[in-house]
Structure 1
Amino acid sequence: MTSVDDPAAAAERCTPEFRRNPYPVYGHLRENAPVCPMRPPHGLDTFLITRYQDARAALSDPRLSKDMYGAIDSYRRIFGDSSVALDDHMLNSDPPKHTRLRKLVSSAFTARRVESLRTHIRDVVEELLDACPTGEPVDLLPAFAFPLPIIVICELLGVPREDRAMVQGWSTTVAQTGFSKESKLAQQRAEESLHGYFADLIARKRADPTEDLLGALTATRDEEGSLTEQELISTAFLLMFAGHKTTAYLIGNAVHHLLNHPAQLRAVREDPELLAPAVEELLRYDGSVESATFRFATEDVEIAGTRIPRGALVQIALNSANRDPLKFDSPDRFDVTRPDNAQSAHLGFGHGVHYCLGAPLARMETQLALTGLFGRFPRVAPADPAREPSWLEVPFPAFRGLTELPVLLDPAAVREAAVPEPVAR
């Protein structure tokens, strides 16, 4: 293994081997370099935090700023100039601006509001499963895990049904950040398309007011002047992007791990009360948000004996923190009955003022997705159990998710379909 004192060690985090199983590397870093200096492909010195206690503290440390406009040169080197127009939102801001922006959308994600969506989300789950073939293998990512959250978040925002596939495509391109000239150009075009689309959609909602979330935010912008036009467009993008990719990958990871831990799946089936803690364990064990979004040090900061200089970028490895044996007993064991994993224990949704606003919705969508899938298809199984899962390969790990999830929803039906009809004589 490359020395953890060498910034080039970051290259290890970009290999296919690491993407398949990052946890041995994280374990090594927690033990030997819990705050690891590295130089990812974007070329900017970054410090990676891997231990639970340090990660939790860093997530709420005001010296580690989320205001990427304060580090605009670094921001542009990583994401490009075109990203700025879509990123003027609460995730990239500090209080008091963050407080103002978060307050404007928080009413859409209260426990009561989310609970009111339960019946509708259950109906969407059933409709998607109705459309899945049972006589042949089906990839659950495009057929189920990805459509569910995009339908729900687009309905909340008020994105017309006929536009959703187009918006999802642009969002996917933005998420696949690369550093080649071709990748950056594709990302720039997708960002410009999303910016233009949301600007046009907001204009339509001004002309013909709607009661959805984006319609309400547009009215608030016009009546109270409590956010700028760029903040409005950026907030629409953030809600759509964050409300889609993270939940889609979480559902995929959840199905994958339950299918590969049959005793745990059987326990959840036999005791529905275990479903909620099972989702918390899935968030801890292999969450879809591998690392928190970048922060930068506004002054010299010392963490775990390592000095992080002013202006340096900081990346917090949430999935590493959630496997820290100093916090969780036998952390590499997947256990839906784990007693030390309440909602407030793991860092799957972050911590502090930037704790995920959509966490209640993501939890509900995942629970209903698992209930619907395993209730409708109790014998669902991997299409090829011997095949290695294919994980996202990204320049710096942000999402943790599969690229495909082929399953047999009803293996008996597949076997019957494979038997040839008798030849008439």
Structure 2
Amino acid sequence: MLTRDLGARIARAAVAGTSHAARVAALPGVIDTIGTMLAGSAEPPPRTLCSGLAPLPPGQAWECVGGTRVDAASAALVNGMAAHVLDYDDVALRGHPSAVMVPAILALGQALGRNGRHALDAYVVGYQTWGDLVERERGMHPIKGWHTTSVFGAVGAAAACAALLRLDDVRAAHAIALGATQGAGLMANFGSMAKSYQTGRAAQAGVLAAKLAEAGMTAGADVFEHPQGFLRAHSPQGDVDTASPLSSTENESGWLVEQTPVSIKRYPTCYYTHRALDAILALLANTPVDIRDVEAVRVRISQEHATILRNHAPRTGLEAKFSMEFAMACALLHGKVGLTELTDACAGAPAMQDLMRRVRVETVVADSAEWHGAAAFDEVIVERDGVPPLRSDPVSHPAGHARRPLTPAQLDAKFRDCLDHSPYAAAGDALLSALHKLEDTPLTDFQPAR
């Protein structure tokens, strides 16, 4: 029933569209992902991917590493990896939905000749499907070892691509079931090139799943609700709801992306560092600290979040993204944590290594009523030689969170900063202006200038 109902909802939206309000709510995540994708296009992981797979099959879809037109599945893979490689992409639904769905939608949409309105409708549908499934789990997939973004992303991308292809309810259900069987990704790969590869593969899986369903490939009719199906197979403890009906998109609350939009990242590090980063940077803004006086930095976060931040003495920029020790030391040393700081040279610097050894992570109960696996708030305490410790204000929502959204000017500033760190700096304001008008733009026109 669940699999069938999901397919029926996708098919209805493929014909009727979603809503103007939902498309407006989706647009910031799309624009932000394009920025992080372009910034990531010059990074070693996606370039290694393209080198290893060269030559990519030609087609109508644009890929950001070489700036060429390739087949839709390859473009989704390359662009998905580039969008996620900096860990600067948005957060929602217990993962990073836009880094998977936007590359898949852009690639297939270009191949099909769709426009921006179709793309935004597809995003809304994929977001709804992802959210309806992931919220049926009461445990935390990452604690089991699953990379939620790539596991659920394959399904969300398949749903979005099924909407672009305008599949009927039966084929749409097959598409998401085919996406489900490709959903995979391991937490043990965090801090390596494989993490962003997992995201790219989820985007690619979505394109392939929808195209195969269109061609007539079938999958299990009860893949999501079956005792050995997608939800229970990935569940950490089997505590999953397969019986509740789908959430409605036809009442006054509208689509999920309107109710729970994405949270935009301010720092290119794991989102579980962001509350503590806001805390320490606000503390330092009020009271400058000489790092020579710092005896210890105590960070209070949940055990669940601490488990994800696995790298305690990172030596590379990739490893540093999953290190609370790096986040705190970087804030103290540089007064900021941005793309310029997430490098091998910065992570491996002697002063950074020394300061990281003074950071202590203290775990507390995950008692947040609204953030799965989080403490009610995170806080930072800086202990100094011979003076009273400095204690931050508690932070329950980092800046950029859906409850503390960035202003349009801040969103645009992040986009420009991403382009400045990419080969596409020349695209600048013209690209940003075009993206703000995405709903009326043919996707085939999207090919930023270097």
Q: TM-score, normalised by structure 1?
A: 0.26
Higher relative contact order (CA 8 A, sep 6+): 1
Give the TM-score normalised by structure 2.
Answer: 0.25
